[in-house]
């Protein structure tokens, strides 16, 4: 499979809205996206502005997903990754997180770490984080509201620039409270 990344342009608001509203996103707090909301968000710079960049994930010439990187101006960006249902389970998530990690550390020299969160039950995304060198740093109990109102645990991962450069994973010391 031929995979590539193409920066989203605000003129592509309609295709983005069609893509996001045309899928169900089971591990997002809003599994269904409203097309009108996407148009507003594009106009507001949510997808491409001073602190955000969005890229189409293009697989074999088709828009297979989208990755939005945000908080680019504070040294610890986050990202949202969405892969269309027809493309899930093919390794695109691992490729995309590897790509965005390289992109952020290369294009933003002040970035020291990249963070991401997912629901505890999103085992696929949790595997992606581990495969890409991200360390589990947090577990937030009942912190992620599902579309039906159910509260799910949230798991936080991050990668440090130093770990990325050395190809290692430095886990946090979760047992630092001694009394």
DSSP 95-151: HHHHHHHHHHHHH-TT--EEEEEEETT-HHHHHHHHHTTPEEEEEEEEEEE-TTS-E
Structure tokens at 104: 């952020």
Model pLDDT, residue 179? 65
Model pLDDT, residue 146? 86
Per-position pLDDT tens, the chain of length 179: 999 999 999 999 999 999 999 999 999 888 999 999 999 999 999 999 989 999 999 999 999 999 999 999 988 999 999 999 999 999 999 999 999 999 999 999 999 999 999 999 999 999 999 999 999 999 999 999 988 889 999 999 999 999 999 999 999 988 888 76
- CA angle at 35 for the pair 30 and 41, rounded to the nearest 5°: 80
Where are the chain's structural domains?
Answer: 3-166
- Return d(Cα 23, Cα 61) in angstroms, integer: 19
Model pLDDT, residue 149? 87
Model pLDDT, residue 175? 85
Class of domain 3-166: alpha beta
For residues 37, 45, 26, 143, the Cα torsion angle rounded to the nearest 10 degrees is -110
- Return d(Cα 139, Cα 110) in angstroms, integer: 27
Model pLDDT, residue 177? 83
Q: What is the pTM of this model?
A: 0.95
Model pLDDT, residue 176? 83
Instruction: Kindly tell me the burial class for residue 117, based on how many C-beta atoms sit within 10 Å of its own C-beta (0-12, 13-18, 19 or more).
Output: buried
- Return d(Cα 105, Cα 148) in angstroms, integer: 37
């Amino acid at each position: 499979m031929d995979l590539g990344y193409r920066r989203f342009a605000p003129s592509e608001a309609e295709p983005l809205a069609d893509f996001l509203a045309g899928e169900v996103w089971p591990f997002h707090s809003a599994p269904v996206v409203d097309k009108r909301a996407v148009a507003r968000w594009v106009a507001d710079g949510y997808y491409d502005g001073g602190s955000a960049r969005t890229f189409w994930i293009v697989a074999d010439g088709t828009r297979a997903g989208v990755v939005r990187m945000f908080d680019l101006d504070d040294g610890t960006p986050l990202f949202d990754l969405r892969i269309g249902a027809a493309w899930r389970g093919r390794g695109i998530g691992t490729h995309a997180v590897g790509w965005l990690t390289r992109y952020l550390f290369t294009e933003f020299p002040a970035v020291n770490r990249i963070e991401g969160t997912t629901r505890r039950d999103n085992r696929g995304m949790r595997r992606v984080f581990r495969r890409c060198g991200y360390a589990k740093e947090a577990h937030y109990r009942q912190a992620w509201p599902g579309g039906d109102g159910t509260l799910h645990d949230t798991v936080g991962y991050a990668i440090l620039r130093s770990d990325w450069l050395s190809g290692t994973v430095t886990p946090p010391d979760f047992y630092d409270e001694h009394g």
